[in-house]
Structure 1
Amino acid sequence: MMEVIPDVRDGLTRTERIVLYVVHETQRELNGRNVPTAMLYGRVLEYVDMSEAELHVYLDRLGVRGDAL
């Protein structure tokens, strides 16, 4: 239930925050290069259970576009 309630500080849900964290950490590992969506999906699954379609919904909501992030 807590995954869908936005935080009062910035309006992000727990899942959105996880997606952004994983993008950031993976970009650091790749020395700032784009993160392939398949790689991101695999890493996000370590934190939260979601379908690939759900990940794309979150990425769209966060303003992330394209095959590679």
Structure 2
Amino acid sequence: MARCIRCGVYMGRMGRRICGECMQEWKQRRTDTFAQAVEELGPLTAKTHKVILKRVKHLERAAKKEKSNE
């Protein structure tokens, strides 16, 4: 009797906490924000890795906030 922690959809007896649709949406958002961060800050190197990850998290929060405002 598991429900998705993001959308509340009943998933049956699955071991996961997030449904497939929410996971796909998250993966797409993560891919888009990572591409945007790499475009802004340059290629991923040892020196830029930490900065790019911070920027990705910032962009994800902004995208999530925009989605909740719609």
Q: Give TM-score scaled by structure 2 length.
A: 0.38
Q: Give TM-score scaled by structure 1 length.
A: 0.39
Higher Rg: 2
Larger strand fraction of residues: 2
Higher RCO (CA-CA < 8 Å; seq separation 6+): 1
